[in-house]
Structure 1
Amino acid sequence: MTAEFTNWITEYGYWATFFGAMIEGETAAFLSGVAAHNQLLYYPWVMLFAALGGIVSDNVLFYVGYFAGSQILPKFHRHQKKINRVQQLIRQHENFIIIAIRFAYGLRTVGPIIIGASKVNPFKFFILNILGGALWGVIIVSCGYFISSAILALPIHSSLTWFLLIIIAVVLFIFLRRQWKK
């Protein structure tokens, strides 16, 4: 890595983790875990910033759903069966869904909107969202940290190591996406 890029990561890495977790999610948190393993960022702070980014974005999306969900959700004509199914699951397993929705591929953004539109108690959502966000931050950042650790332990050239790390992350992402679709 170049010194300039390394300096950029150490200077702006926590903010990149926070906003990346808000906007994109898993990839930003995973790559931040890789940076923490390479001692460019402090591992506990990376988990915290990733969790906070997820918590903030999910709370914003929840309130969008809470106040405007009845106008937004009907516009997703192709997905009405899925939306209805998620709303039914929310009614049956509200606490679990609030905590786990961020782990559900394809529902990361629309999930909190659906939960808000289901008129879940905002305080209850806030508390359970903190728990879910903390779990998500720890798990995804740790995956990046420990997968990076395993790959970097291989006796190969560092450029090849980064290439392999990216390939493994992409393959893992595609695998998990296909599993979720099933």
Structure 2
Amino acid sequence: MEYAVAEYGVFAVVFGTMFEGEAALLLAVFLAHNEYLPLREVIVAGWIGAVLGDHLWFYGGRVLGPRWMETHPAFARRAMRVRDFVIRHQYITLLGFRFVIGMRTVIPFALGLVGISRLRFLAFNLVSGLAWATLYGTMGAFIVGIITRAVDHLLQNELRIALVIALVLLCAWLIARVRGILRERHARQKRARRRAAGETGHRH
């Protein structure tokens, strides 16, 4: 196991953070805490994966925007909801979108859709991606350290590792749950606006 992680771990972190974000980075931080991977390499790999993933969606918006939206109506509705905000607040969006849970694929897609400069997106994404990877990497290491120290004297090493993995997976599930709640809330708000618009139309 140690050899496999040492051989492929950094590449797995890059690939994982491209698509799973916080969950992949937190799992990699746990491995770093148990000396399978250096924490510095985990943070750098998370940074690279975050930047690559964001660029994948950004160029998806630039190149495939209208066609993708035609075949993915739910995604299109979410992208159009943030489009006006993206246009009005470009710099805030460029720096902060990576920290918005549940919208990290939609916002770079919308940024590409509205034609934000490629160089501007790259520059801001490098900065925000590094901030994200550093924040989650260091905070994750701190939290994992507290958890492992708390149970270290109670459990054997194998059970300790299994418990911390379970806690990391629980954190990943909670993140996914929050994303689902946010999506459901956006959907309810959309339906409420549609009903309100329909009632207004009937009154007229």
**Bucket of the pairwise TM-score, normalised by the shorter protein:** 0.7 to 0.9
List per-residue Cα deviations over 1:161-180 (Å, max 9, x = no partner): 63255234246425643664
Structure 1: unaligned runs, 5 residues or longer: none
Select which of 147, 172, 197 maps to 1:151.
147
Select which of 92, 95, 101 maps to 1:96.
92
| Structure 1 residues 30-41: aligned runs within 5 Å | 30-41=26-37
| Structure 1 residues 1-182: aligned runs within 5 Å | 5-155=1-151, 156-157=154-155, 158=157, 159-160=159-160, 162-167=162-167, 168-170=170-172, 172-173=174-175, 176-177=178-179, 180-181=182-183
Measured after TM superposition, the shift of residue 87 of structure 1 is: 0.5
- Structure 1 or 2, whichever has the larger Rg, is 2
50-59 vs 100-109, greater mean Cα deviation: 100-109
Query: Aligned partners of 2:70 and 2:59: how far apart in 1?
Result: 17
Give the SS at the match of 2:95.
helix
Measured after TM superposition, the shift of residue 147 of structure 1 is: 1.6
Structure 2: unaligned runs, 5 residues or longer: 186-204
TM normalised by structure 2 equals 0.77
> Over aligned residue pairs, what C-alpha RMSD do you find?
2.2
103-112 vs 54-63, greater mean Cα deviation: 103-112
C-alpha distance 72-170 of structure 1, shift in aligned 2 (>3 A):
closer
- % of aligned pairs identical? 25
Query: After the TM superposition, which parts of structure 1 deviate over 6 Å for at least 4 consecutive aligned residues?
Result: none
Query: Aligned partners of 1:54 and 1:83: how far apart in 2?
Result: 20
Query: Aligned partners of 2:71 and 2:21: how far apart in 1?
Result: 24
